[in-house]
Homo-oligomer: A and B are copies of this chain.
Amino acid sequence: MHHTDAAMQACIDNCLKCYSVCTGIAMNHCLEAGGKHTEPAHFKLMMACAEMCRTSAHFMLIGTPHHKHTCRECAEICRECAEDCEHVGDMDECVRACRACAESCEKMAA
């Protein structure tokens, strides 16, 4: 049976975790809180980050060499989302998930 190597499996896990955290927090915490949490630039960045993480995981699961490109973009958007969530505040879980995902993805993109 097929075996993904350990580094890639860790990256898939980090991507799916970050996708889950960004989606769950945007849809529940941010919409309830309102104000700067639903400010368009912030909310759209969280939605884009969630989608990119999901896609990046999908490319690694497919096992296509293009995963390097999706991981590179995923690392970039996760870094930006982490900074933005830190600035908005009260989003620590999201900041951690984005940073962990960005680190994994940078390794896979190299």
Is A43 touching B66 in the complex (CB atoms < 8 A)?
no
Interface size on A, residues (CB 8 A): 43
What are the interface flags for A55-84 relative to B under an 8 Å C-beta threshold, 1 for contact and 0 otherwise? Answer: 101110111101001100100110000000
Near B by CB (< 8 A), chain A positions 2-46 give: 2, 4, 12, 16, 20, 23-25, 27-29, 31-32, 34, 38, 40, 43-45
| Nearest chain B residue, comparing its CB with the CB of A24 | B61
Q: Does A52 contact B (CB under 8 A)?
A: yes
What's the Cα separation between A11 and B48 when bound, in Å? Answer: 18
Q: Does A51 contact B (CB under 8 A)?
A: yes
Whole-angstrom distance from the CB of A11 to the nearest CB of chain B? 12
What's the Cα separation between A22 and B53 when bound, in Å? Answer: 18
Residues A77 and B66 in contact in the complex (CB < 8 Å), given A2-B24, A44-B31, A51-B58: yes
Which residues in B have their C-beta under 8 angstroms from that of A47?
A: 27, 62, 64
